[in-house]
């Protein structure tokens, strides 16, 4: 009788440690904790099953384990943990690039500068795109949007461009190579042109183009931004239109960007141009978190009801309710021809609100002292934004052309920066309205790509980035709600522009008729 084999003498068969997807892609599989997908599969987008082959039972085992195939869903992929707003320091060469280069992406040269830029993108740029204070990005972003961006074969180089521009614009960082942004931009455009000319997946290309639009809008050149946006419109049209695309996340981001940019410049929509833009809206939930409430759209609760939740003084809450009533009335009027009487009624409502604001105007225009609390500052900022908003309605002049006395617009921008971003994060819907008013103020023409010496240009770019973050902060909760907010404010722009032109035409007709009437001339 042969002795039983001891556990130490049992030699297991050679096990296959790679999952099926990594073997198919001929990648080195990096298993993670037992019972979870490997480190490669959790990053893949679209999600794929992570299937490990059955492991053979050890020889001589008394009770062989059953052969099992473990399939792990990657619907909620793991992504790098995004730190707070602190700027990440460069890591050893490899770092995050090792994880990205093992994917099916355009390979990035493993240099210390590229590693620094990619760390900066993941740690600072990407969370600040969707979070007002750059901290605690929403779960939707961490589990869907960031993998959706990084898993694109073309996107990593765009991420380097974003990081380089953000360091220069926001951190005043001067790279050793002063032409770094231009070199990165030329590489990105070359890469995009090659992809368009080749057999590359077009769905991936339009994801990259929308990010190029964002790059130019936040940090670059307005002319290039419009060129990219028109190119994206043509690309979408060639695929049968927006709703023919089988990419809900891209559709949401594109519609939101189209409305946000149209509000910023007070122009017609670009991608949805020539169509009934309302037909492309995403559904708005009947109920949503009260802290998302905004004065541009009706809500089941008034701001007076939300005083405690949003930490607002009673008079400020009443003001927001008045602004909401005015905005809702204009948005409804914008959908149909407006009579002279209805226009006068809307203007009188705006004038009533404006008259009430004169009581605190002197105090609001003073420089904010350090003794004031953030709650007091926010009350002043809301009043300043209401002054600008109502003036545009009363005078029927677009925000991008109206001339405000005593630099109200500049003082509004400075006041916004004084309040802690974490405080604005508690009321993203209100903050979005404030940014929509502030960002459309008169600005100088774009000087050129990546100019660093113009203070006005820097102020404008900062407002745009905060507007985008506010829209995304609401959108990460409910994309349909964020788009509805932007559309409501855009309708206010369109109504002011339309009625202003109509009033000018009526005035010209009145002058001509008066000149042609001999009795009036006498």
Q: What is the C-alpha separation between 60 and 52, in angstroms, rounded?
A: 24
186, 189, 223: which is closest to 209 by C-alpha? 189
For tokens 């630099």, name the residue. Answer: 407
The answer to whether residues 130 and 249 touch, using CB atoms and an 8 Å cutoff, is no
Q: What is the C-alpha separation between 54 and 34, in angstroms, rounded?
A: 14
The answer to whether residues 151 and 44 touch, using CB atoms and an 8 Å cutoff, is yes
405, 402, 412, 393: which is closest to 442 by C-alpha? 402
Query: Where in 232-322 does DSSP place strands (E)?
Result: none
Residues 207-217: pLDDT tens digits? 888 889 999 99
Partners of residue 489 on adjacent β-strands: none
What is the domain partition of the chain in residue ranges? 12-78, 95-279, 294-508
Q: Which secondary structure element, helix H or strand E, spans residue 252, and what is its range?
A: helix 248-265
SS3 15: coil
Angle at 58 between CA 52 and CA 62, to 5 degrees: 125
492: Cβ contacts below 8 Å, ≥ 6 apart: 296, 327, 330, 331, 334, 393
Q: Which secondary structure element, helix H or strand E, spans residue 192, and what is its range?
A: helix 180-197
* pLDDT given for residue 94 in this prediction: 45
Q: What is the C-alpha separation between 6 and 164, in angstroms, rounded?
A: 61
Angle at 379 between CA 127 and CA 494, to 5 degrees: 70
14: Cβ contacts below 8 Å, ≥ 6 apart: none
Tokens of 79: 């992504």
User: What's phi and psi for 128, nearest 5 deg?
Assistant: -75, -10
Torsion of CA 288, 289, 295, 298, to 10 degrees: 30
Q: What is the C-alpha separation between 146 and 372, in angstroms, rounded?
A: 38
* pLDDT given for residue 246 in this prediction: 77
Angle at 246 between CA 150 and CA 143, to 5 degrees: 35
Q: What is the C-alpha separation between 179 and 449, in angstroms, rounded?
A: 11
Residues 93-116: pLDDT tens digits? 345 554 444 444 556 777 888 888
SS (H, E, C) 71-118: EECCCCCCCCCCCCCCCCCCCCCCHHHHHHHCCCCCCCCCCHHHHHHH
* pLDDT given for residue 147 in this prediction: 74
216, 83, 100, 237: which is closest to 155 by C-alpha? 100
182, 183, 229, 227: which is closest to 206 by C-alpha? 229
CB contact burial 88-127 (16+ within 10 A = b; e otherwise):
beeeeeebbbebbebbebbebeeeebbbbbbbbbbbbbbb
The answer to whether residues 140 and 479 touch, using CB atoms and an 8 Å cutoff, is no
The answer to whether residues 347 and 338 touch, using CB atoms and an 8 Å cutoff, is no
* pLDDT given for residue 508 in this prediction: 63
Percentage helix, strand, coil for the chain under 3-state DSSP, each rounded to 5: 60, 0, 40
Length of the chain: 522
Q: What is the pLDDT along the chain (522 residues), one digit of tens a residue?
A: 444 445 444 455 555 678 888 888 778 888 877 767 788 887 665 567 788 877 655 454 444 334 333 333 333 333 344 444 444 444 443 455 544 444 445 567 778 888 888 888 888 998 898 899 888 888 778 777 777 676 667 788 888 999 999 888 887 777 666 788 888 888 888 888 877 776 655 667 888 888 899 999 998 888 999 999 998 888 888 888 887 777 788 888 899 999 999 999 999 999 887 555 556 677 888 888 899 999 999 999 999 999 999 999 999 999 999 999 999 999 999 888 878 888 999 999 999 999 999 888 888 777 766 678 888 889 999 999 999 999 999 999 988 888 777 678 778 888 888 888 889 999 999 999 999 999 876 544 433 444 444 567 777 888 999 999 999 999 888 889 999 999 999 999 999 999 988 887 776 665 555 555 544 444
Check residue 125 and report its DSSP letter: I
Q: What is the C-alpha separation between 475 and 478, in angstroms, rounded?
A: 5
User: Distances from the Cα of 208 to the Cαs of 89, 120, 149, 448, in angstroms?
Assistant: 27, 19, 8, 22
For tokens 């009801």, name the residue. Answer: 305
Torsion of CA 291, 293, 299, 305, to 10 degrees: 50
Residues 276-334: pLDDT tens digits? 555 667 788 888 889 999 999 999 999 999 999 999 999 999 999 999 999 999 999 98
């Amino acid at each position: 009788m042969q002795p039983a084999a001891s556990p130490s003498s049992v030699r297991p068969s050679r096990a296959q440690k790679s999952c099926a997807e990594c073997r198919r892609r001929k990648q080195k599989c990096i298993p993670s904790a037992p019972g979870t997908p490997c480190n490669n599969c959790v990053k893949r987008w679209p999600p794929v099953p992570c299937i490990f082959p059955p492991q053979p039972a050890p020889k001589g085992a008394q009770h062989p384990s059953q052969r099992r195939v473990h399939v792990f869903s990657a619907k909620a992929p793991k992504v790098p943990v995004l730190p707070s707003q602190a700027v990440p320091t460069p890591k050893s060469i490899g770092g995050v690039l090792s994880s990205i280069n093992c994917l099916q992406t355009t390979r990035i040269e493993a240099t210390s500068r590229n590693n620094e830029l990619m760390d900066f993108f993941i740690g600072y740029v990407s969370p600040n795109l969707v979070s007002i204070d750059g901290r605690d990005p929403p779960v939707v972003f961490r589990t869907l949007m960031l993998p959706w961006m990084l898993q694109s074969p073309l996107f990593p180089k765009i991420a380097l461009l974003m990081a380089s521009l953000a360091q220069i614009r926001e951190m005043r960082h001067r790279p050793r190579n002063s032409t770094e942004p231009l070199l990165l931009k030329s590489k990105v455009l070359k890469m995009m042109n090659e992809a368009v000319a080749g057999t590359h997946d077009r769905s991936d290309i339009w994801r990259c183009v929308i990010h190029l639009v964002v790059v130019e809008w936040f940090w670059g050149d307005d002319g290039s931004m419009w060129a990219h946006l028109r190119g994206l419109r043509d690309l979408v049209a060639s695929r049968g239109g927006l709703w023919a695309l089988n990419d809900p996340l891209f559709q949401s981001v594109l519609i939101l960007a189209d409305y946000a940019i149209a509000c910023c410049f007070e122009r017609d929509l670009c991608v949805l141009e020539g169509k009934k833009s309302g037909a492309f809206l995403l559904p708005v939930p009947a109920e949503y978190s009260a802290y998302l409430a905004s004065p541009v759209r009706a809500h089941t609760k008034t701001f007076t009801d939300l005083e405690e939740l949003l930490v607002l003084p009673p008079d400020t809450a009443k003001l927001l309710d008045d602004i909401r009533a005015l905005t809702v009335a204009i948005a409804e009027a914008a959908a149909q021809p407006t009579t002279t009487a209805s226009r006068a009624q809307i203007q009188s409502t705006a004038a009533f609100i404006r008259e009430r604001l004169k009581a605190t105007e002197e105090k609001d225009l003073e420089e904010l002292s350090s003794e004031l609390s953030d709650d007091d500052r926010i009350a002043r900022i809301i009043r300043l934004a209401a002054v600008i908003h109502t003036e545009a309605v009363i005078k029927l002049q677009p925000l991008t052309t109206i001339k405000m006395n005593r630099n109200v617009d500049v003082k509004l921008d400075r006041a916004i920066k004084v309040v802690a971003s974490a405080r604005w994060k508690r009321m993203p819907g209100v903050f979005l309205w404030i940014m929509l008013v502030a960002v459309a103020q008169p600005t100088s023409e774009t000087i050129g790509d990546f100019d660093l010496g113009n203070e006005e240009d820097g102020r404008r770019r900062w407002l745009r980035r905060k507007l985008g973050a506010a829209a995304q902060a609401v959108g990460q909760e409910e994309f349909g709600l964020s788009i509805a907010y932007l559309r409501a404010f855009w309708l206010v722009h369109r109504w002011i522009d339309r009625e202003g032109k109509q009033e000018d035409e009526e005035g010209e007709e009145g002058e001509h008729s008066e000149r042609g009437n001999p009795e009036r001339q006498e």
